[in-house]
Structure 1
Amino acid sequence: MTEKLQAIGDAIKAGLPKAVTGYEIAYGELNVYANAADIVEVVRFLRDDGACQFWNIIDVTAVDYPQRAQRFDVVYHLLSPKQNARVRVKVATDEVTPVPSIISVFPGADWFERETYDLYGVLFVGHPDMRRILTDYGFEGHPLRKDFPLTGFVEVRWDDSQKRVVNEPVRLNQEFRNFDFLSPWEGTDYQLPGDEKAGPGGGKGAG
């Protein structure tokens, strides 16, 4: 399998010398790195070239690396039934630079790109219906970004007094607590109520 993936990787690099910056084989899978502006050309080549024949689109998603200037990797997963192989294509972008939509090549990417926009905020230029698909109306932010708060910004709940669903800012009704993650065998630096006998000299008879 490694030899086959190596041959496919070489064919992709040779066929797209400007669009593809490199490739690697990791954990038995082929990873191709491309320029975001050329992604339509790349996936069309992967679909149509005789050495590739990646006809099926499996997924489009993203990964967030907030410490980078181009914080997002947009990741495309394709399958070739003919080659019995998969390829993962990665392109990098930032929060404001859109990535070309690949719907003209793979119409099935429609909802995948909308999901990536909804959850990460990556925009796809040329998409015919670039709007949220999973979050609710009026949702703020993109919940799979690493800097999105775990509690979110708003909560949706049923208000029994108003007899309707209401949206309101998140309220933390319970103060944050300090939890003890030590195992019972490690012991603690403090004494809990009722553990007085566990201290020095505890548990011994009064004599």
Structure 2
Amino acid sequence: MTDLQALSDHVATSLGDAVTGRAIAYGELTVVVEAGRILDALTFLRDDPACRFISFIDLCGVDYPGREKRFDVVYHLLSPRHNTRIRLKVETDETTPVLSCAPVFPAANWFEREAYDLYGILFTGHPDLRRILTDYGFDGHPLRKDFPMTGFVEVRYDDEQKRVVYERVKLQQEFRNFDFLSPWEGTDYILPGDEKAQAPAAPAAKAS
């Protein structure tokens, strides 16, 4: 089954109320699934003869801070038999865990750890949910959109103590102020260094 609309209808009919939304855009099928039914959906897509999405490609998080359920957990699957891809999405918040799909696709283990590390998305039933990319004792989740660009701590090697130390971030200079004025139109203030420039002399008046 390679026709995306036929595949979309087949998945929606088979999974029933587990599917809360679906769309085809840019040649790709996206199916939104109720979070509590994600394992049912993944198992069906893996085992159904018309689907056979046996290859787990990726799992990632997406952050929408303005939403009540701020996170999307996005799953990408491939069916080598039908040469077709599908994307699943579930929504969750900062405190509600999503069922781990590692029992269905063991390859999801490290992807779920990455989503937990970088977004703080929780997965229940995961065999080893701990950070995977950030350092020990890291504060916060760096891919959240409300995470400060400077971070909370910095790591450096201290020659005196002969060890790696963790310190609060220290900004060595003040933030720049951006005026967003077009350089072609000119600024309404004197740029550093321009105060030395001489204003052009006014043209001499012509003798009558």
Runs of 5+ in structure 1 lacking a partner? none
Letter in 1 for 2:194: G
Q: 1:122-133, aligned counterparts within 5 Å?
A: 122-133=121-132
How far apart are residue 81 of structure 1 and its match?
0.9
Query: Stretches of 4+ moved more than 6 A in 1?
Result: none
How far apart are residue 22 of structure 1 and its match?
2.4
1:153 aligns with 2:179: no
Distance across 2 between alignment mates of 1:183 and 1:71: 36
Distance across 1 between alignment mates of 2:16 and 2:89: 16
**TM-score normalised by L of structure 1:** 0.92
Distance across 2 between alignment mates of 1:68 and 1:85: 31
Aligned to 2:120: 121
How far apart are residue 197 of structure 1 and its match?
5.2
Runs of 5+ in structure 2 lacking a partner? none
Distance across 1 between alignment mates of 2:194 and 2:140: 48
1:204 aligns with 2:208: no
How far apart are residue 44 of structure 1 and its match?
0.5
How far apart are residue 51 of structure 1 and its match?
1.3
Distance across 1 between alignment mates of 2:194 and 2:55: 65
Query: Aligned pairs, how many?
Result: 203
Distance across 1 between alignment mates of 2:48 and 2:194: 75
How far apart are residue 194 of structure 1 and its match?
3.3
1:44 aligns with 2:43: yes
| Identity in percent | 64
Q: 1:24-63, aligned counterparts within 5 Å?
A: 24-63=23-62
Letter in 2 for 1:174: Q
Distance across 1 between alignment mates of 2:18 and 2:183: 58
For the aligned residues, what is the CA RMSD? Answer: 1.8
Is the 1:64–1:146 contact (alpha carbons within 8 Å) kept by the matching residues of 2? yes
